[in-house]
Structure 1
Amino acid sequence: MEKFFSVHSERINILRSRNMDIPNASDQKNILTKHNYYNLINAYKDPFLFAGTSTVERYKTGTQLSELEALLSFDTNLRLLFLREILKIEEVIKNQIVQSFYSYHLYKNDDASETERSNLHRDSEYLRRKYYELSPIYSVHTNNEFGIVNTTTSSIRPSQRCTTLDRQSVYDNYITTVYRTLGQQRKNKNDSVKSYLEQHGYMPMWILMNVLTFGNVSHLFTLQKKSVQLELINTLNLNSKPSISDDLSIINTSRILQTLSIYRNICAHNERFYSTRIKVPIDDVYMDFGKKLPHTVDPANRRRLNHAQKNKRMNARQGIYTLIFIISLFMKNKEFNKFINEINSEFEELKKVLKTIPIDEIERYMGLNFDWFSMINN
């Protein structure tokens, strides 16, 4: 159905016709003048709607605009909290990729000549194919009746469904992105970068990192030689406890960076955050992540999850709980507990305003409808 522009009074009448409580003489009417209608109503209405098959939306009795506004505020505050931590991690990752790259290729790579080492600070050298791993990555990840994600990296049978990462294409796209970015910076985007390029005629990797997106850096990690990847993982203590294979550790680190990149973009572009779903699988065995999810079972006991249990487990896995888990890997306990308290404070503020629905309903939308703050610290 086509959507036509409607004026303020028409929108109020539409919402009233859908059972929203908007008294004539109230501050509720003024809320619509403070917010973009789409950003407020369409983005935050879902928890307040009656579930059903009807094509006409109907709000739960008593729903007020102030509740949607409170949810918008809650989402905005959460977005800022998480963005703050993601930006810290982004800086750490960017710096460590550079450190690991040069540590290996300058001092540990016996195949590099002295000339290559002496020129490795130049983009004409460090962007060459020889410094990157371009073979494809194969993996199989399954989500079986036990609600477990298990990635296999060896002996893939033709009958198995698998994901394939074409690193040759990733490399080609990365190189294109780098030179396009440098071209933009050379014009007028960044005076310091422009000045460096004009004075020296090249761009060192450690300066290039300042103008690459987290997504670019995530791709850059997947292109590194295995030794470079493992050095980064070990330096940042991302090596799993209990221990897993190097290949599985690399794959899960790559997924961590991909997840951070996705959420970083959501936060930076002011998109709806609290109920975002992503499908980047983190293996249950990685850092015992599976034991931090609801309804953990041991497949050896042959007990399977029912439909509701699997859904709850999957919602936690695909919601911001995974992001909380990832952020915890980069934080000391004291810092992380403070971060958790900040999140809980936002829930408490939202709870004060909600009248039509319980806070549990919001937690369900977020995949946090379990004792997540205790389980994350297990």
Structure 2
Amino acid sequence: MQKQFKTLDEQISLLKERGLIIPDTNKAKRYLLTSNYYNIINGYGKYFQDSPDHYVTGASFNEICSLYFFEEEIKKTVFNAALQIEHHLKSIVAYRFAEQYRDQKYAFLNPSSYNPRKLSDACRTINKFSNILKININDRTSSIYHYVSTYQNIPIWVIIDHLDFGGLYHFIKELPDQILNKIASDLTPFFFDNNGITLGQRFTPTIMLSFMKNILEIRNVCAHNKRLIEFNCHADAKYLSELHDQYSITASEDRKSFYNTFIIMQCFLSKTEFCILNNTLRKRFKNLNNDLNTISINDIFLKMGFPENWQLRSPLPQ
């Protein structure tokens, strides 16, 4: 059966019938018009309900909006951290790839530049690079046009900037083992800066790629405006005792939640960058806690994998 269109007045009436308090009807109608009933009510109203068609006593439209805008803000914060991670990775990967193939033109188009065990996947990455060249090679404003016309070559550090995080992840995944090992090693100073612990070879390419995959999934949730609350990655992040033990997370526990992805980000961010991420999230959670009256902030923490009362922990020194 098809859902029938409802006017803003009908939407408001339905919400009131279900027990939702609406302090300012005109403001609520404006929110519903500009932010979409489905996004706000269907997406976040359910956390204030005691049954599918009824809100808990005292629940208000303002609380739902606070939760909605809270998540909008933390998604911006997390997405920005993902961009910083992407930048670090692109710089490291471009350096190590160029170091390995310093005398070869267009090495990223050569199948022999990739892991021989992953050639079928590498062909898709080569095709992606080829399409990037086709799109940009005649664009006089493009750095690719400049390098082709001037040097008859495209350095990896130029074309890699045209990959999104997903393309970058697959490119890294398909590289030869000797390059992967160097990349993983290059990342370990981030963890030392954040924790004062030297990882050495314990931060393996397998762990690195597992962490990257979950960060990519969370990044895509933020980029495509999906709901972060209750989101779980497809697979557990690999267990790294030096990291997870600090958070009392054991090898047998689930490591798919947003909280688990948040803590692994410190393996790819500088101390200042991770502190800003941590402290900004903490501030957003504290603000949300002040706006909630009928549910507990811990109800939200539970759905995101965070420990109870996480917002009360001391901020990290920046």
Pairwise same-fold verdict (TM > 0.5): yes
Structure 2, unmatched stretches of 5+, are none
Contact 1:20–1:59 (CA<8 Å) still a contact in 2? yes
* Count of aligned residue pairs for this structure pair: 310
* Larger helix share, 1 or 2: 2
Query: In the TM superposition, what whole-angstrom CA distance separates every residue of 1:266-321 from its partner, at most 9, and x where no partner exists?
Result: 22223222432112322224534255245x48xxxxxxxxxxxx8xx53xx22211
Q: What RMSD, in angstroms, separates the aligned Cα atoms of the two structures?
A: 3.1
Task: Extract unaligned runs of 5+ from structure 1.
Answer: 107-116, 136-166, 298-309
Once the two structures are superposed, residues 46-70 of structure 1 have per-residue CA deviations (whole angstroms, 9 ceiling, x without a partner) of 311225xxxx432222222211111
Q: Rg bigger for which structure?
A: 1
Corresponding residue for 1:250?
Answer: 205
The letter for the 1-side match of 2:176 is: K
8 A contact 1:8–1:32 mirrored in 2: yes
Separation in 2, partners of 1:227, 1:341:
37
Identity across the alignment (%)? 22
Shift of 1:359: 1.0
Partner of 1:264: 219
| Structure 2 CA distance for partners of 1:195 and 1:243, relative to 1, 3 Å | closer
What does residue range 113-152 of structure 1 map to in structure 2 within 5 Å? 117=103, 120=104, 122-123=105-106, 125-135=107-117
What's 2:235 paired with? 280
2:266 paired with 1:328 = yes
The match for 1:206 among 149, 154, 157 is 157
| Amino acid corresponding to residue 94 of structure 1 in structure 2 | K
Deviation digits for residues 134-174 of structure 1 (CA, Å, limit 9, x no counterpart): 31xxxxxxxxxxxxxxxxxxxxxxxxxxxxxxx23311211
Alpha-carbon spacing, 1:84–1:243, altered in 2? closer, same or farther (3 Å):
closer
Q: Which amino acid aligns with 1:182?
A: L
Amino acid at match of 2:69: S
Q: Are the equivalent residues in 1 in contact too, given 2:172–2:180 (CA < 8 A)?
A: yes
What whole-Å deviation, never above 9, does each CA across 1:14-68 have from its counterpart, x for those lacking one? 22232222357664444323422222112212311225xxxx4322222222111
- Structure 2 vs 1, CA of residues 227 and 286 (structure 1 numbering), >3 Å: closer, same or farther? farther
Q: How does 1:286-325 map to 2 (within 5 A)?
A: 286-289=241-244, 292-294=247-249, 296=250, 313-314=253-254, 317-325=255-263
The two structures have a TM-score, normalised by structure 2, of 0.84
TM (norm. structure 1) is: 0.72
Alignment partner, residue 111 of structure 1 = none
Aligned ranges 1:1-378 → 2 under 5 Å = 1-22=1-22, 27-50=27-50, 56-106=52-102, 117=103, 120=104, 122-123=105-106, 125-135=107-117, 167-186=118-137, 191-197=142-148, 200-237=151-188, 249-289=204-244, 292-294=247-249, 296=250, 313-314=253-254, 317-333=255-271, 335-370=273-308
Partners of 2:109 and 2:130 within 8 A in 1: no
